Amino acid sequence: MLFVLLTTTTPSTAGPLGILSFFICMYIAALGVLTFLFQGASLLLAKLSPMKRRKIIPGGLSLKKAYYYASVLALVPIMLLAMQSVGEIGMYQLLLVGFFTFIAWLYVANRTG
């Protein structure tokens, strides 16, 4: 759907609903890719880690936790794209987005325990 939206319309002809659907499709695509990337990397690290560390992370990150972490990180490119459309992105804005991501990851880590 994202490919069709990008090839058939322009931002001026799509209107507000088209732009909103673009952001939603981008978020869903990034969320799916990052979820499976996190889970795969976690399983790979669990298999490659020494025996002492396997007690801490026996099977890697669960799909549910990978989804939670990916939901935070998938929002970063959407926020940056939205900020770029309003004005330019400087170092201060990048630091704020990084700080938000750090705080959100800490929140997810504490809530999922």
Q: What is the per-residue pLDDT for 1?
A: 76
What is residue 55's predicted lDDT score, i.e. its pLDDT?
A: 53
Q: What is the pLDDT of residue 85?
A: 83
pLDDT under 70: residue ranges of the chain: 51-60
Domain count of the chain? 1
15 conformational bin, left if phi > 0, alpha if psi -120 to 50, beta if neither:
left
Residue 14, pLDDT score: 81
d(CA 59, CA 49): 11
Structural domain that includes position 8: 2-112
Q: How far apart are CA 97 and CA 81, in angstroms?
A: 12
Report, in angstroms and rounded to the nearest whole number, the Rg of the chain calculated over CA atoms.
18
Give the model's pLDDT for residue 7: 83
Among 43, 52, 45, 64, which residue's Cα sits nearest to residue 111? 64
pLDDT of residue 51: 62
Q: Which of 66, 98, 107 is nearest to 79 (CA)?
A: 98
For residue 38, count CB atoms less than 10 angstroms from its CB and return exposed for 0-12, middle for 13-18, buried for 19 or more: buried
- φ and ψ at 12, to 5 degrees? -75, -30
Give pLDDT, residue 104: 94
pTM: 0.78
In the prediction, which pLDDT does 16 show?
85
